[in-house]
Amino acid sequence: MTTPTYEQDLATDAFRSEGNVVLQAGAGTGKTTTLTMLAAATRRSGLYLAFNKSIARAARRVFPAHVACRTTHSLAYAAVGRYFDDRIKEAVRIPSWRTGEKLGISRNMVVTIGERRVTNKAISSAALRTVNQFCYSADEEIGPHHVPRLRGLEQPFLHAQLVDLVLPYARKAWQDLQHPREGVVRFSHDHYLKIWALTEPRIDVDFLLLDEAQDTNPAFEKVFTAQAGRSQLVMVGDSAQAIYGWRGARDVMTDFDGIQLRLSQSFRFGPALAEEANRWLAIVGAPIRLHGTPAIPTELTTVERPDAILCRSNVGAMTEVMNLLNENKRVALAGGGQELVKLAEAARDLKAGRRTSHPELILFPTWADLQEYAEYDIAGRDLMPLIDLVDEYGTDIILDALSRLHDEHQAEVVVSTTHRAKGREWPAVRVGDDFADTEPEDEQDDGGRRYSGTIGPAEARVAYVAVTRARHRLDLGGLAWINRRPAPAPDPINRHPRDGDL
């Protein structure tokens, strides 16, 4: 883009005012280009905060010299993490139950909660996951709400018993992590980030640009917002793409005190796909609607040979991989297949009558026990695709299939979960079948046709990410059920921005 859009000019003017700015940037709207425009509009010292190392490296090539480009972890490492180098370098992966033993969780410890036998492995895993949840939070101390909810113990009174059991070991683990040179708990980058955040650090620059702000975890959110009054704060992201709540992230943009602006012109796809994206944005209640670029040919159609298939879950991705391999396709899995291998290995253990240490399945002693839970307990319904897949193919065939995956540059098609596809794009995309509409058909449109009721905002945000990864052709696939619903009412926010329109 050689000429700034009207929205980009507005953002630059707001930035020059030196007030705090919130920039809602929809899918494909030139977010990085806009941020470099802001940086070029001043000679003040700035810091661009990227979501990961690769984004930070790419940003260094385009941002002016007076703006440093780093990750939040690199800030924390320079201040605190380097003192824990010995523990980071020596951090080898060992089973959580071995760590639990060193924290005082006996190897033969078994506690019955409800109908579940909670073994030392489950207690150890839960204690370490409690520490992880605490590290993502803005809290100063570990509390009951950090203890994860385990499958099979979802009811509040059962979870309360788990909290009483796990919390003392979690607190002991956190104390162990305070020692720079030695300890029994495997030290990770999230640990020193939390230790740094608790020091209430000051970041000495004139302005901060926080990218992917909708995925900021509360621990760093507290650090970032504490810089107000010392530095100009600019948040940029897309609230409708806030899909990492399960790991502690939350959308900090909507309620932030700053000038609220938007980027709505998508340079990724044409008007037809923008219209589809806007259906999901309306469901989410997002503060933005997209406008496609007319010169980009984009259509919603059946795609027989997609470049990518995007799934809702790991199990859905596994199913797609199996189907494609049966068709002798060269298949790649975005991010590699390790997560699916661990899930298949856990299923193999259960079918052999052995307990597994997989955190999703750790409370089930046998495959039959898991089958019963998934069939009769509503909290376990999402496990049915895994059970059907394993019962149809067997774990050995699944593990063999996963060993035959290709690198992306050698593959005919890439299979990905939507979470891993975030930030990426392909010419032709098909949405996987595991996005099935599972809500009860409890409403009718004007023609008397039945359709499902409320779509949860979390599901709608994942769907929005999925449909906005295509450039030219999108096959709605597992999201085609949206066509059975009445179209959303026109929204005045959907006007195209022009002079005097904002």
Q: What is the pLDDT along the chain (502 residues), one digit of tens a residue?
A: 468 999 999 999 999 999 999 999 999 999 989 999 999 999 999 999 998 888 899 999 999 999 999 999 999 999 999 999 999 887 677 888 899 999 999 999 999 999 999 999 999 999 999 999 999 999 999 999 999 999 899 999 999 999 999 999 999 999 999 999 899 999 999 999 999 999 999 999 999 999 989 888 899 999 999 999 999 999 999 989 887 765 666 667 877 889 999 999 999 999 999 999 999 999 888 889 999 999 999 999 999 999 999 999 888 898 899 999 989 999 999 988 888 899 999 999 999 999 998 888 898 999 999 998 888 777 787 788 889 889 888 999 999 988 999 999 999 999 999 999 988 999 999 999 988 664 444 444 444 444 444 677 888 999 999 999 999 999 999 999 888 776 655 554 555 544 333 3
**Do 410 and 330 contact (CB within 8 A), yes or no?**
yes
Q: Which residues pair with 300 in a beta bridge?
A: 474
**Residue owning tokens 């794009």:** 425
**CA 111 from chain center: how many Å?**
33
Exposure string over 189-200, b if 16+ CB within 10 A, otherwise e: bbbbbbbbbbee
Paired tokens of 65: 């010299």
Of 328, 346, 419, 357, which is closest to residue 387 (Cα–Cα)? 346
Q: Which two tokens stand for residue 466?
A: 């999925």
What is the DSSP track for 244-296? -GGGT----STT-SSEEEEE-B-SSS-HHHHHHHHHHHHHHT-S---B--TTS
* Alpha carbons 398 and 416: distance in angstroms, whole number: 17
Nearest to 63 by CA among 211, 188, 215, 173: 211
Nearest to 34 by CA among 21, 47, 23, 50: 23
| Beta-ladder partners of 118 | 111
